C-alpha cells in the first residue's frame, strides 16, 4: 500500500457536503480547524492486497461469531459491565438466530503484509457515508475508470432486500433511531447523517423507513409495545445507539424483563453487544492462541506483555485508552469510560505513511467483506480528530453492473450468527 499526494478538487468541501458528509472538517478544542475528509492524499492498493485483506476480514468475522456464542454461554453480566439480566436477553437473541446487518473491523496492515485486528465495532459502526458514497464519488472524479475496494452500498441494499424477503422483518416498515446528542456530547450530526444514509439504502431495497432520535421513542404501557414519535407501533428498528447503554436505561429494563407483547426486531440484534465490548479481545485470544490475525489480550491486567494498550470495555473513539510502551513511556487519552473495567491488548505499531499513523476500517455486511476506509492520525491513538483518506486499486478497472451483481450473488460459507455451544 502506498500513499500519494493529490490535488484536492475545486470546491471539495461543498462537493462532499452535498454528497451527505455534513462535517468535512473538524474543529479542535483550541479552535483550529482540520480536515476530516482529506483528499490531499490517496492510498494505492493492488488487487492482491485487497484479496488478502478480504480473506483476513472474513476469517476474523468467523472468529468473532464463534467467540460471541461462547461469551453468551459462559460470561456473566458483571464480567461485561452490563445490568443484571442483560445476558439472558442476549442469549434469547442468539437462540433465535437474530440476523445482523454490518460491522467494521479496525486493522493494522503492516508493510510486510501482516494484518492484525485492533478491534471490531459490531454494534454501532460509523463511516458509512464516507466509505459508501464520498470516497466512491472521489475515485469517479479523480481517477475515472479505476476500481476501489468498495461494494458497501450495493451490499447494504442487497442485505435489506434479503432481510425483507426472508421474513426476518415484521412487515415492510423500519424505524431508524439515533442518538441526537446535545451540549458537549453533540457529534456534529455524525449519527443522524449515518442513519439517514441507511434509510436511503433501505428505501432502495423497497422498504418504508422513518427516522427520529431514540429519545423520542415511547412506550405504550397498555399495549405493551414501543411506539414512535407519532404513536405508531415500532415493529422493526435499526438503532445507532449502543446496546450496553440501552440495556442500562429504563427502556432497557423493559427489554430485559420481557415486557413487550411482541418484541421489536432490532438491528443490530442484541447479541451484537458481544461484538461491541472490548471483552471480545481476550476471548478471541484465549480461543485462538497464536492466531496470526490476532494480538494477545487479557482481562484486568497486561500479564506478560511489555508493551500494551489498556482499553475500557465500553470505550469508543479512543477515549480512556492508555498505551504503555516497552521503554515505560505512556500515552493516556481522556474520557468518561473505564468504570466497567479494562482489557489489555499487546501494542502493535501502526504503519506510518508520510508521518501519518494509519488504521484500515474493513467492512462486513452479512458476514462478507464489503470495502475499506482509511483513517490517518497524528499520534498513536485514532481519535475524534483522525482524517479519512480515499483509496484506489491500481491494477483493476471499475466493474460493470453485471460484475457487481456477480459479486453479490457469490456468497461464501461465512457464518452469519453465533450459536450457543452444547
Reading the block at residue 384, the C-alpha cell is 475524534
Q: b/e per residue, 312-346, with b = 16+ CB within 10 A?
A: bbbbebbbbbbbbeeeeeeeebeeebbebbbbbbb
**With contact defined as beta carbons under 8 Å apart, do 24 and 37 qualify?**
yes
> What pLDDT digit, counting tens, does each position of 259-273 carry?
999 999 999 999 999
Average pLDDT, the chain: 94
Eight-state DSSP code of residue 234: P
**With contact defined as beta carbons under 8 Å apart, do 118 and 350 qualify?**
no
**With contact defined as beta carbons under 8 Å apart, do 67 and 417 qualify?**
no
**With contact defined as beta carbons under 8 Å apart, do 75 and 279 qualify?**
yes
The helix-helix angle for 47-74 and 86-96 (nearest 10°) equals 120
> What pLDDT digit, counting tens, does each position of 128-168 carry?
999 999 999 999 999 999 999 999 999 999 999 999 999 99
**Alpha-carbon gap, residue 115 to 57, rounded angstroms:** 9
Helix (H) or strand (E) holding 72: helix 47-74
Q: Specify the pLDDT at position 409.
A: 82
Q: Specify the pLDDT at position 316.
A: 81
Confidence of residue 186 (pLDDT cuts 50, 70, 90): low
**Alpha-carbon gap, residue 190 to 21, rounded angstroms:** 8
Read off the pLDDT of each residue in 212-233 and give the average, rounded to a whole number: 95
Q: Which of 251, 187, 188 is nearest to 215 (CA)?
A: 251
DSSP string for 187-254? -TTHHHHHHHHHHHHHHHTT-EEEEEEGGG-EEETTTTEEE-TTSPBP-EEEEES-HHHHTTSHHHHH
- For 127, list phi and psi in degrees, rounded to 5: 100, 10
**Alpha-carbon gap, residue 320 to 312, rounded angstroms:** 7
* ∠ CA 232-82-417, rounded to 5°: 70
Is pLDDT above 70 for 411?
no
Q: Specify the pLDDT at position 349.
A: 93
**Alpha-carbon gap, residue 213 to 216, rounded angstroms:** 6
**Alpha-carbon gap, residue 147 to 140, rounded angstroms:** 9
Strand partners, 346: 308
**With contact defined as beta carbons under 8 Å apart, do 160 and 199 qualify?**
no
Pairing relationship of beta strands 2-5 and 41-45 according to DSSP bridges: antiparallel
In Å, what is the CA distance from 23 to each residue of 35, 58, 113, 136, 327? 9, 31, 33, 17, 38
**With contact defined as beta carbons under 8 Å apart, do 102 and 125 qualify?**
yes
Q: Specify the pLDDT at position 413.
A: 64
Read off the pLDDT of each residue in 206-234 and give the average, rounded to a whole number: 96
Eight-state DSSP code of residue 132: I
- For 292, list phi and psi in degrees, rounded to 5: -65, -20
Our CA dihedral for 345, 351, 355, 358, rounded to 10 degrees, sits at -70
Q: Domain limits of the chain?
A: 2-295+348-409
3-state DSSP call for residue 184? helix
Q: Which of 62, 66, 53 is nearest to 286 (CA)?
A: 66
Confidence of residue 383 (pLDDT cuts 50, 70, 90): confident
Q: Which of 320, 296, 316 is nearest to 308 (CA)?
A: 296
Amino acid at each position: 500500500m502506498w500513499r500519494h499526494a493529490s490535488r484536492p478538487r475545486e470546491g471539495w468541501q461543498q462537493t462532499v457536503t452535498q454528497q451527505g458528509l455534513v462535517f468535512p472538517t473538524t474543529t479542535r478544542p483550541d479552535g483550529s480547524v482540520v480536515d476530516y475528509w482529506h483528499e490531499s492524499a490517496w492510498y494505492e492498493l493492488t488487487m492482491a492486497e485487497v484479496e488478502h485483506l478480504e480473506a483476513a476480514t472474513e476469517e476474523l468475522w468467523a472468529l468473532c461469531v464463534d467467540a460471541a456464542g461462547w461469551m453468551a454461554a459462559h460470561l456473566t453480566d458483571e464480567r461485561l459491565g452490563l445490568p443484571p439480566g442483560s445476558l439472558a436477553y442476549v442469549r434469547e437473541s442468539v437462540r433465535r438466530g437474530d440476523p445482523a446487518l454490518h460491522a467494521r473491523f479496525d486493522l493494522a496492515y503492516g508493510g510486510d503484509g501482516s494484518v492484525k485486528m485492533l478491534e471490531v465495532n459490531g454494534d454501532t459502526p460509523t463511516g458509512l457515508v464516507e466509505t459508501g458514497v464520498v470516497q466512491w464519488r472521489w475515485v469517479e472524479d479523480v481517477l475515472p475508470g479505476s476500481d476501489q475496494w468498495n461494494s458497501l452500498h450495493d451490499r447494504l441494499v442487497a442485505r435489506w432486500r434479503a432481510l425483507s424477503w426472508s421474513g426476518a422483518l415484521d412487515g415492510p416498515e423500519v424505524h431508524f433511531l439515533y442518538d441526537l446528542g446535545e451540549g458537549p456530547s453533540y457529534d456534529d450530526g455524525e449519527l443522524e447523517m449515518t442513519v439517514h444514509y441507511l434509510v436511503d439504502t433501505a428505501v432502495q431495497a423497497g422498504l418504508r423507513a422513518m427516522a427520529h432520535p431514540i429519545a423520542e421513542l415511547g412506550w405504550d404501557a397498555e399495549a405493551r409495545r414501543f411506539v414512535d414519535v407519532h404513536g405508531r407501533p415500532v415493529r422493526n428498528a435499526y438503532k445507532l445507539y449502543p446496546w450496553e447503554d440501552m440495556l442500562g436505561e429504563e427502556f432497557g429494563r423493559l427489554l430485559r424483563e420481557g415486557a413487550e407483547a411482541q418484541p421489536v426486531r432490532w438491528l443490530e440484534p442484541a447479541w451484537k453487544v458481544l461484538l461491541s465490548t472490548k471483552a471480545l479481545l481476550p476471548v478471541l485470544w484465549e480461543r485462538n492462541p497464536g492466531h496470526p490475525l490476532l494480538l494477545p489480550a487479557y482481562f484486568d491486567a497486561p500479564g506478560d506483555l511489555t508493551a500494551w494498550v489498556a482499553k475500557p470495555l465500553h470505550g469508543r473513539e479512543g477515549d480512556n485508552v492508555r498505551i504503555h510502551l516497552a521503554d515505560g513511556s505512556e500515552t493516556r487519552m481522556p474520557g468518561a469510560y473505564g468504570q466497567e473495567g479494562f482489557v489489555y491488548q499487546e501494542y502493535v505499531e501502526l504503519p506510518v505513511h508520510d508521518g501519518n499513523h494509519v488504521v484500515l476500517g474493513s467492512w462486513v455486511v452479512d458476514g462478507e467483506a464489503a470495502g475499506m476506509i482509511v483513517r490517518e492520525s497524528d499520534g498513536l491513538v485514532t481519535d475524534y480528530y483522525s482524517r479519512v483518506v480515499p483509496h484506489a486499486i491500481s491494477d483493476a478497472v471499475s466493474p460493470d453492473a453485471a460484475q457487481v451483481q456477480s459479486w453479490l450473488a457469490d456468497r461464501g460459507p461465512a457464518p452469519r450468527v453465533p450459536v450457543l455451544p452444547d
